[in-house]
Structure 1
Amino acid sequence: MALALMSGNVGLRRTKLEDLNPNLGNILVVGIIIGKQKPHKFTSTAASYEGVQKAVWNFTLRDSVRDYANVTYWGSTEVVFQANDQDLNDPGESYRPMVTSPYRLTLNEKSSLIRHEGNLRSFLQLLRLPTKPLAGFVPLKNIQNNGSNITDLVNILVVVKGIRPTRTVNSKFSNETFSVRTVEVFDHTSPSFQIEMWDNDIIQRSDHWVPTVTILFITDLKVVWSNFLRQFSVKVTARSIVTENPEGKESQMLANYAKEAPIETFDIVGQIVTALDDPNIQDVMTVKQVQDKINSSSMERQFTAALYVSISSFDLDGLSKVLLVKCAKCKLEVKNSKCENAQCPTVYEGDSALLEYNFDIRLNISDHTGTLMNCRLSGQAAEQALNCTAKEFSNLSDEEKEMLKWKYLFEKCAVNIVVLYIGNQSPIISVLKLKRENVLEISRKLAVY
């Protein structure tokens, strides 16, 4: 919101942040809040107010492309003032957003803070200007894979992928309740990353964020390990500022990427599998070793393994879904060979839907140590295993599908897999290679544990 800050009551002089100096008095500053912290109460220890309840509020004000400053508003709890009247070398500044002004504005009961009723257009434009260079962002993949080595605060440039409902949590240390909202984001290096937002102002702003459209530049985040997510995540700090759809070439490049980026789990898995550098996996494991690694507290977000197993479930000719059919125009799943997306050109132009066929098969693999259930076989791996495309498979008779099934069902096979974690979902086991193998060859290579 655009504000007018008035220090004093008479003879006010309009002052820009760039012109601030310690000798000024009775000034009027007009700007827009670009970041703020939650006000909190405290009990005064000053002699004249000992035992009196006070309140403190910190926010960051910007009035031009170049200039922004931290503001401390203190006073009685009734008006939620800020209470921090220390010198400019106050170590507390290390917990405030980095700003361009060497000075901090301090307001008290003699000051006023009112909504600016003038032209707001120029101030609203300031909300899209980042407070730090966009090029300094840290890719999400670096945080996920190297979080233990990151000790400094980081900046990220991301696209909103999904917004969870706001939930209420109770403080372990007081009777207070807090609102929290999980926002899922992505960038060009990672398809899914979750951030928990605890600030009420940011939570309210997130109501207007649009998945795959809204770009966020968030500064001064702390990298933390999340036991719940089993990965490194980030935490908003008192220094963080969230800039929506920031101006800059990096933001525009990310927005262009977001238009074509895969969002559905099927597409994300396909993208990750395609990007794997080395399909020749040498790490031989048993089913139990894979399960133990999945259940461990390992920080790995993905790992690969070669297994020598039997295919214990492979329903190609029954009721199980084995094909994913999408509209070639809008990329949404199609049922009964008809696109039902009201926004798709094939609907409002009256055209017939062009269909894309993809394998999305589930199978179980077993050895002497256990069974990995609900493994996914899709894409090129499925085409090579079945020696046909998904489109060709859709035209096969039930008898032909049954023959393909019995080629692998209960047979000894060499299987390469990749285990992936996407967001907060259960791990996805994707089959990279499925090949019939000689029993003697399996007995030679099989790891016995």
Structure 2
Amino acid sequence: MNDTSVALQKVNLRRLHPYLDNILIVGIIIGKQRPRKFLDKKSSVEVYRGVWNFTLRDSPQDYINITYWGPSEVIFQANEKFRTGDVVEIINPKINVRILNDTSEQFRPMVTSPYNLTLNEKSSIVHHAGMSVDYLPLLKFPTKPIAGFLPLRDIHNSGASIKDFIDVLAVVRGLGQVRTITSKTNEIMLVRTVEVFDHTCPSLKIDIWDPDIINRSEKWTPRFTALFFTDLIVLWSNFQRQFIAKVSNRTIVTENPEGKEVQLLLDYAKDAPIETFEIVDQFLTTLPDPSTIRDIMSVKQIQDKINASLQEVRSGSKQFTALLFAFVSNLDLDGLSQTLMITCGKCKMPIKGSLCENSECSTVYENEVIDPEFKFDIKITLSDHTGTLTNCRFRGEVVEQALSCTARDFSNMSDDEKSMLKWKYLMERCAVHIAVIFVGNQYPVVSVVNIRLADPVEVGRSLPVY
């Protein structure tokens, strides 16, 4: 602990130099790493010591890395006590000149200070007793230029050639559950996968292993939280068959940072298609007239092309269309399967009852009454002599044209009436125009873009052998 009998000199990070001692620095923690425990080899008895690294900022321009050494219980207690966003006082640290090519620098966040600080038994860290409000805006300032971010599309397309750390600016799309993992050294660790998107790509999954960032993620909101990640690691996931990113020891996460690029991204995110059905619907609007789709395939040929695309590392344009002559082997219009999607007439978010539950929708806080919208959303199964395509997507106006009724009219039909519509196509040979659409490098969506009863002569002349 410091000698309190000597008056402390308060300094800011910009005025640091190695000859200062007995100083006090006030700043806000903008990032921290997990503490580590190790056996003290200098002790004649079994004693464990600990080390904890965190990053402190006291102005938009000035931030520094700090290393705290001490008995393991002291270090781990300090890690639990102080979190990102806490305004703290650093008392009597040792000031060291940074050695830029030193190995330790490769595993620490990038900072602007030419120094780093060391805390030990003669130093201390405490919560700031004064006004903290002036320091809180510093959490909005990124630690690296935002303009240097890598678009998500480039990560998926060129991930194999990325050997260095990358920076990412994106908006939260979804938050996975926090999972508990046992490491090879029997250490219990937490991990959470956060899915993000930007203008160029609907999805990138980022694995977060840092407990502090996992704790902060509880407040992140899909569509409304923009994140700037510095120094992520890119790697290929055999399980997910796509490139993902992982937080490193160098990573600093800035939530809704200041910057023109951020505001443009958040404006886009408000209405961007992020659900799978939204992305598919948007893609389908770019397709030509279904009658121009003349590439005839069998079910097996479609499945083979899908499997070949899934094996490709690159995630370029894998989408394709085909004309399939097949039987409709399952079309459950009058059973328990979903047939309609009901959305709010204002914000277009799916609703289960008659009222919208989206807290951002004006119908909620203005008590505005707007009729919900109805849209067909059906799963259909297609079969031919080579195999079966299950859970094909059959939605929207395509269904209305095929069944010659609107979704709202269908919602008011009796089961007998729905059954009559079903048998118009069920077990009949049809000419089906489909689009196979890959979303986020996952298993693709097979979407029906047109369907009609097939002419037997046309089938006999065109049906593929295999």
Structures share fold, TM-score greater than 0.5: yes
Per-residue CA distance 1:122-156 (angstroms, 9 max, x = gap): 11110011112222222223223332232232211
**Secondary structure class of the residue paired with 1:354:** coil
* 1:197-216 correspondence runs (5 A): 197-216=208-227
Match of 1:30 in 2: 26
Within-5 A mapping of 1:214-233: 214-233=225-244
Name the aligned partner's letter for residue 32 of structure 1.
I
Aligned to 1:132: 144
User: Is residue 72 of structure 1 aligned with residue 67 of structure 2?
Assistant: yes
Whole-angstrom distance in 1 between the partners of 2:265 and 2:51: 38
**1:16 maps to 2:12:** yes
TM-superposed CA distance for 1:221, in Å, is 0.7
Match of 1:261 among 249, 267, 272: 272
1:328 positional shift: 0.6
Within the candidate set 35, 38, 43, 1:42 is matched to 38
- Contact 1:7/1:28 (<8 A) preserved: no
Cα deviation code 1:357-400 (max 9, x no counterpart): 22212211112111011101123443454566545655778659
Partner residue, 2:438: 420
Change over 3 Å in CA distance of 1:109–1:259 after alignment to 2? same
Shift of 1:232: 0.9
C-alpha separation in 2, matches of 1:146 and 1:276 = 26
Q: Which residue of 2 aligns with 1:433?
A: 450
1:327 pairs with 336, 340, 344, which one?
Answer: 344
User: SS where residue 146 of structure 1 aligns?
Assistant: helix
Read off the aligned partner of 2:13 and give its amino acid letter. L
SS of residue matched to 2:424: helix
**CA offset at residue 33 of structure 1?**
1.1
**What letter is aligned with 1:94?**
Q
For residue 69 of structure 2, give the secondary structure of its aligned residue in structure 1: strand
Moved more, 64-73 or 432-441: 432-441
Q: CA contact under 8 A between 2:331 and 2:422: conserved in structure 1?
A: no
How many pairs does the alignment contain? 441
Cα deviation digits, residues 51-102 of structure 1 (max 9, x gap): 7532111111111010111112223223228999996242220121111112
String of CA shifts for 1:103-122, please: whole Å, max 9, x gaps.
22222222222221111111
Identity of aligned residues (%): 51
Q: 1:369-380 counterparts in 2 under 5 A? A: 369-380=386-397
Q: Which amino acid aligns with 2:55?
A: T
SS of the aligned residue for 1:183 comes to: strand
Matched, 1:102 2:114: yes
362, 372, 389: which one aligns with 2:379: 362
Distance 1:347 1:54 in 2: 55
Question: Which residue is 1:113 aligned to?
Answer: 125
Q: Distance in 2 between matches of 1:224 and 1:448?
A: 41
1:353 aligns with 2:370: yes
Which TM-score applies when normalising by structure 1? 0.85
More moved, 144-153 vs 235-244: 144-153
Residue 355 of structure 2 corresponds to which residue in structure 1?
A: 339
Structure-2 separation of matches of 1:55 and 1:342? 46
**Aligned-partner SS, 2:258:** coil
User: Which runs of 5 or more structure 2 residues have no equivalent in the other structure?
Assistant: 80-93
Note closer, same or farther for the CA distance 1:442–1:155 as it changes in structure 2 (3 Å cut).
farther
CA distance 1:250–1:404, change in 2 (3 Å): same
TM-score normalised to the size of structure 2? Answer: 0.82
Q: 2:173–2:195: 8 Å Cα contact kept in structure 1?
A: yes
Superposed displacement of residue 216, structure 1: 1.2
Distance 1:351 1:125 in 2: 36
RMSD: 3.6
